[in-house]
Structure formats: structure tokens, C-alpha cells
A and B are shown apart, each in its own frame.
Chain A
Amino acid sequence: MNSTAFLLFYEFFKVGLFTFGGGYASLPFLYLMAENYSWFSHEQLTSLIAISGITPGPIGLNMATFAGFETLGLLGAFISSFALVLPMVIITSQVFRLYRKFCENSYVKSVLYVLRPTSCALIASVGIRLFYNLVLKNSFIFSKIDYCGLFLVILLFLLTFKLKRDPVVYMFIAGILGIIFYFLNII
């Protein structure tokens, strides 16, 4: 148990250190954890993302707390959220003194110019993997595709042109449809 606690701390310290551009940017790291350790499954990870979007607090912090809780209960939740904010506390309070110059610095600008597409690509890779896991059911065989899932993804995608970016709306629609599909016995 002690080694899990230590690993959990180490992994979330890394997430805090290497996440650029908001909560969703930490997803690739959580995905890797689901693969490397038996802490939580891909399915749990997906529910974790959904729930973190609708509970109060920053998404990144919610996801870390949740992942920690799934791994080691209350202690895990504490370790992961502490480890997540620790690098920020160290780095950000150091930067405070020079913050006015920080954003105008040409090195910082240049690094961000490369980092931003990197963050986008990392988030996109998670989206593609989720699609592969949940809709294509981990294969490229036509007969295995979850067509109800495909329908739902396309429907929600089309709704993004009409609705706000508020996650709750999409989750609500998807949840209701899920229950209807369940009672129709088609999923």
C-alpha cells in the first residue's frame, strides 16, 4: 500500500508539472496511468471525466482527486490533489516576483508557440482513443461498432453548433438517451 501511495504522489506530481492549458490537458497522463497501473479502468476514467465536469471546482483538480479516491480511497484523494498542486505552488510563487516581464519574455512566447499545438494534439489523442474504446469497441471491424454510440456522438456533435459549451447540457441529453436506449433494450 505504501508503494502505491508513493507512486500516486509521483504520478500526480508529474501531472501538475507537465500539464499546460487547462484540466483536459492532464487527460493523456490519466490515460497512461489507467494503462500502466491497475488503479482504475478506462471505463472508470471516462465516468471520472464526466463527473469532474459537473462538480464544483476546477476540472483538473476534480479529476486528480477522483482518480486518487478510486485508487486509495480518502488517503489517495488527499495524496493526488496535494501532489497535483505542489509543483504549481513551488513554481508559481517563484514566478510572482517577475510576473510582469514573464509573459513578454520572448523565450516564454516561443515555448508556448510550440507547447500549444502539443497540448491540442495530446487532447485530440485522448478524444480519438475514447472514440476507439467506446464506439469502435477496440477494433476496426464493422460488425463490432456500437451504432447507438455512433448515433449519439454524431447527434451531440451536431448539437455543438446550436448549444453553449456547458458540459452539463450534453451529459444530460446523453444520459437521458442512454436510459431510453436501455429500456428499449438496444444497448
Chain B
Amino acid sequence: MMLMPPFELHHPKSIEEACEMASSFMELGESFDWVAGGTDLLPNYKWHINVKKHVISLAKISGTDTISMTEIGAMARLSAITESKDVHPLLAEGAAKIASSLIRNNATLGGNLCVDTRCFWFNQSEDWRRSIDWCHKEDCGTGSDCRVIPNQNTLCVATYQGDLAPSLMVLEGTIHLIGPNGSREIPAEEFFQLDGITRNVLQEGEFILKVTFPENVSSRVGSYHKLRVRESWDFPEAGVSAAWIPGDGTTLRVASTALESIPRLHSEQVAKLAGKFSSTHIKDLSEAVMKSIKPVNNTTLPPRYRKAMVRVLAKRSLNQILEASE
């Protein structure tokens, strides 16, 4: 059904106003969603998924779309990041691989980080979901079971399919949050939180303000490889980012996305290299990264294949950053 369900749209003009608005809704017990570009939220609304009574748009708040090497505002459009000469090339590359150019013109960095987790039992019309008697992620008050892994209605295993998160992690990005209870900063790898329903650390009323990077971020060399059926606009079925400061194995970071409910930084696997990184390590490291993830069957391609591809993507990303460092 493509008729948009009714909701009230609010346009705060400043961050303060937005926070006040959020806290007043919270006091009234009214449900609300934030909307940035709307390319994720609104299609879900049209499917009648988790529709809220109020939607607060961040679009009219000025100064939240800045773009520089060390700081990107949450409202920066993906197309602007793609085209910008100032951002880290890895982010421009990652942003360019997201969806289609039309969607990138609207979609934002903040929205991409907060993109709802996806699952083919969930991203469906209301009639469709009724035919499976709903699911754990959107149970419509029925207490329905998870349809991916039946007989457990405690965990949602919907897959996070944002493209930029792993690149933020390997570039040591910090995510700045703001809300009625003030602001806080959090490393990108700690922003995401299990499970597919919780998704991240955002408290009610909180939203992403900006992402910052360390001063030396420009010396990092990075690479992102994405698996998808159609290069033109598909969500990632798997994605691996890697970055380091050339010559310094202790700075190597590898992260993956689109494989589980949250994107992951693979510090444990990298730590096994004990600060060394050369072409001889690529095979084992890629293998180790692959073994550490457990995709489930809820996206287009089967999990066994996606898992196997993590090794290939990791290998390609690692090879590329080594080659670029020569």
C-alpha cells in the first residue's frame, strides 16, 4: 500500500529547539521519529512499519551539514560527501557506493549511520507481514517470534546495511550525539549496539550532530569493498573497510558491515598481527575476519556465500591499502 499514513511533521530551526521539542513529546508520552533525508524512514512508513505520530525533521537546522577532513555534520548529504575534495577519500568512496545518485542527493551521513536494520521478513507491506503473522521486530502487539531464527523471541537479527559505518570505524571517527540530556561523544565502533531493534546507543530524544576524526586522519590510507548484486543501487550484502597509516602496522583497522545486526570493528583479529602488517598477513587476517562473523538468512544473498565473500572483500581491501602505500 503506497498511501502514506498520516503523521505530523515538525521543523525545528535550531538544535536547542529540536531538543526541546523532543523532550516535550517525551513528557507528553507521544511517540516521534527523527527524519534527516527520509530515504530510509519514509519508504518504511509507506509500508506501515513503526509509524509514529510525530516526525521531527532536522532539515531546517542550519550549520549541521559542514564537511571537512576532520568533521562532517550529520546533515551533510551523501552526494556532497561523494563530490567533496575535503573529506577523506575513503568516505567519498564509501558514500559514492551507496544507493543511487538520486537517493544520495537526499540521504545524509547521520541517516546512513542510523539506517534501520533490514530483513526480508520485515521490510514488507502490511498485508505481507500479516500473512506471516508479523515478526519479532514489528510484532504489532502480538509477541510474534523471530522468523529468521524461529523459537526465540528475545533477539532481533535484522541486518544493518549501512555503508559508511565501517569506514568511520577504520578512520577512528567519533560520533557526537545531542539530546535533551546534553551532548556526548562516542567512538564509532561503540555507537552500534545489539540487537536489530536496539541498533545503537541513541537514547530517546537523542540524535547525531556530527562525526569528527583525529587530526592525522588524512595520513590514513583506506579502502572499502562492497558486495551487491547490482552496482547501481543495491544495499550492501557484505562490506569490508580497511585503513592504516602506511608503514605503521599498529594503526591497521579492519571493519565489516551488512553481515550482522551491527557493523563490527575487527580489532581482535588485527591484534593477532602484533603490530605488523605486510602482504604475508593478508590471507590469515582475511580468514580470521571471515570466521568472526555470522550472517543469517535475511538479505538477498545466502549467508554462507556472504560469509565466504568477507574473506575476498577483506583481502581486496587489505591488498589495496598495501598497494596504495607503496
A, B co-complexed: no
Write the residues of chain A forming the contact surface with B, with a CB cutoff of 8 angstroms.
none
Write the residues of chain B forming the contact surface with A, with a CB cutoff of 8 angstroms.
none
